[in-house]
Amino acid sequence: MLVIVAPGQGAQTPGFLTPWLEDSTFASRFAWLSTVAGLDLAHYGTEADAETIRETQIAQPLLVATGLVAALELFPHPSDAFSQIGAVAGHSVGELAAAAGARTITAEQAMVLVRERGKAMADAAAVTPTGMTAVLGGDRDEVLAKIAAHGLTPANDNGPGQIVAAGTLEQLDAFKADPPAKARLVPLSVAGAFHTEHMAPAVGHLATLAKSVSVHDPRTPVISNRDGQVVHDGREVLKRIVGQIANPVRWDLCLETMSDLGVTGILEMPPAGTLTGIAKRALKGVETFALKTPDQLDDARAFCAKHGEASSIDTTPTWRMVVSPAKGTFHIAGEAADLDVLPAGAAIGDVASLRDRISVTAAHGGQVVEWLVEDGDLVSPGQPLLRLHPEGAA
């Protein structure tokens, strides 16, 4: 099974776009998304220095545009992608690229949202001097306890041995003077404490804009940063993307879900390397491919063909699927089992995992065609649970 991942802020390096823009098709598509964003992204990806592309309002649109156009280079016919990709995920701002790739939002919507996201987060970061520090190694529980003791937030939990603490510069200085045992601290070159309460003003701005964004349910399962759950409701995907601006990125839980799905191959979109590096440490035996330059495209397509298989979500237009958000045991809600028509938002049951119980709802409602699981069945992330026929459909 193949999972495509999109990196977050910090993955960009000076000049990384230069070889990609040598292709006229890539260049024209990139110019279109740059126009939507209102930025000369080609300049920033080829000529700008590291300090310039570190700026939040530049880095974020640059990353999303690169991922979206590179995806069209990898899969010139998008239908080919849906027949091979089992799931998608993006780290932080990479979730916008993942959502567009899954057809929840359009590329143009993604670029408007990321433009406004970057500006709003930069404005929020300017209010109070804040930053982020990576904590490498150490005992996980001790690291988290020490982060909490200093009033910091574990803003990125990236998997075994890598947690990013975020907060004010004073808090980070105190943390540096009193670090967790056997851990190495690495200050990150970022403009603020992303994915913390300091970004709350940006959430409000994006939430207002998101109300006017039309969405579709994803064609491919989206693994959410918030909790690693598989999300198959377009409105929920967008809601989570907005909320994660001020909430921690749980990439560790995304990796757990990939494992539960049975992933065999992970391909990272450019500028690649960060997420495949994490995956190599966390998911032993899973092959990875870091797509960095266009001369790798043929090998990348072969990698996708080797690991690819269509997701279990049925994309027939007249049917709607309700899918499991996580691995666990499914319990059908008594009232749902007896109904022939479910209203929008009706609870159909829950999935009990080792970590928690997750309620499952029929976001759109509809006529019950068939239950695809029975009460007490073990289910995997993204597994179809119930097939519905939209009310009023022919």
Specify whether 180 is located in the same domain as 225. Answer: no
Q: Is residue 101 part of a domain?
A: yes
Q: Do both 13 and 96 map to the same domain?
A: yes
In a domain, 362, yes or no: yes
How many CB atoms neighbour CB 176 within 10 A?
Answer: 13
Average pLDDT over residues 257-283: 96
Q: Using an 8 Å Cβ cutoff, are 263 and 286 in contact? A: yes
Q: Which of 348, 298, 349, 323 is nearest to 86 (CA)?
A: 323
pLDDT band at 316 (very low <50, low <70, confident <90, very high): low
What is the rounded average pLDDT of the residues 160-181? 96
For residues 274 and 11, give the distance between their C-alpha atoms in angstroms, rounded to a whole number: 7
Condensed to tens digits (0 to 9), the pLDDT of residues 202-211 reads 999 999 999 9
Cα–Cα distance between 389 and 363 in angstroms, integer? 13
How large is the average pLDDT for residues 145-174? 96
- Burial class of residue 28 in the structure, from the number of CB atoms within 10 Å of its CB (0-12 exposed, 13-18 middle, 19+ buried): exposed
pLDDT digits (tens, 9 = 90+) for 225-235: 999 999 999 99
Q: Of the candidates 251, 281, 307, which is a domain's last residue?
A: 307
Residue 269 lies in a domain: yes
Q: How far is CA 149 from the centre of its chain?
A: 29
313 lies in some domain: no
pLDDT in tens, 95-154: 999 999 999 999 999 999 999 999 999 999 999 999 999 999 999 999 999 999 999 999
Whether 201 and 222 map to the same domain: the answer is yes
The answer as to whether 59 is a domain residue is: yes
Q: Are residues 274 and 133 in the same domain?
A: no
Query: How far, CA to CA in Å, does 64 sit from each of 37, 68, 95, 168?
Result: 10, 6, 9, 27
Q: Are residues 163 and 270 in the same domain?
A: no
Please state the rounded mean pLDDT for residues 156-164.
Answer: 94
Q: Residue 146 maps to which CATH number?
A: 3.30.70.250
Q: What is the mean pLDDT of the chain?
A: 94
Domain boundaries, position 149 = 127-187
Same domain, 53 and 8: yes
Domain-terminating residue out of 146, 166, 187: 187
Please say whether the dihedral angle defined by the alpha carbons of residues 79, 84, 87 and 91, taken in this order, is positive or negative: negative
The pLDDT value recorded for residue 237 is 97
Whether 149 is in a domain gets the answer: yes
Q: What mean pLDDT is predicted for residues 155-163?
A: 94
Q: Does residue 76 have a pLDDT over 70?
A: yes
Q: Domain boundary at 307, 341, 359, which?
A: 307
Q: Which residue has the higher pLDDT, 380 or 355?
A: 380
Task: Give the pLDDT score at 394.
Answer: 45
Provide the CATH number for the domain around residue 370.
2.40.50.100
Residues 254 and 334 in one domain: no
Indicate the residue type of 169: L
> Looking at the structure, do residues 117 and 161 belong to the same domain, yes or no?
no
Helix ranges restricted to H, the chain: 24-37, 41-46, 50-54, 56-74, 78-82, 94-101, 107-127, 140-149, 169-177, 200-210, 234-243, 251-261, 274-282, 297-307, 334-337
Do both 223 and 299 map to the same domain? yes
Residues 228 and 140 in one domain: no
Predicted confidence at residue 260, as pLDDT, reads 95
Q: What is the pLDDT, as a whole number, of residue 133?
A: 97
Mean local confidence (pLDDT), 170-184: 97
Inter-residue contact 36 to 69 (CB < 8 Å): no
Same domain flag for 165 and 244? no
Query: pLDDT tens, 334-369?
Result: 999 999 999 999 999 999 988 899 999 999 899 999
Report the domain count for the chain.
Answer: 3
Q: CA angle at residue 80 from 252 to 315, to 5 degrees?
A: 75
Query: Does residue 144 lie in a domain region?
Result: yes
pLDDT at 300 over 50: yes
This model's pTM is above 0.85: yes
Is residue 378 located within the same domain as residue 234?
A: no
Catalytic annotation, residues? 92, 195
Confidence of residue 82 (pLDDT cuts 50, 70, 90): confident
Distance CA 388, CA 102 (A): 21
Say yes or no to pLDDT of 266 above 90.
yes
State the CATH number of the domain containing residue 254. Answer: 3.40.366.10
Q: For residue 278, is it within any domain? A: yes
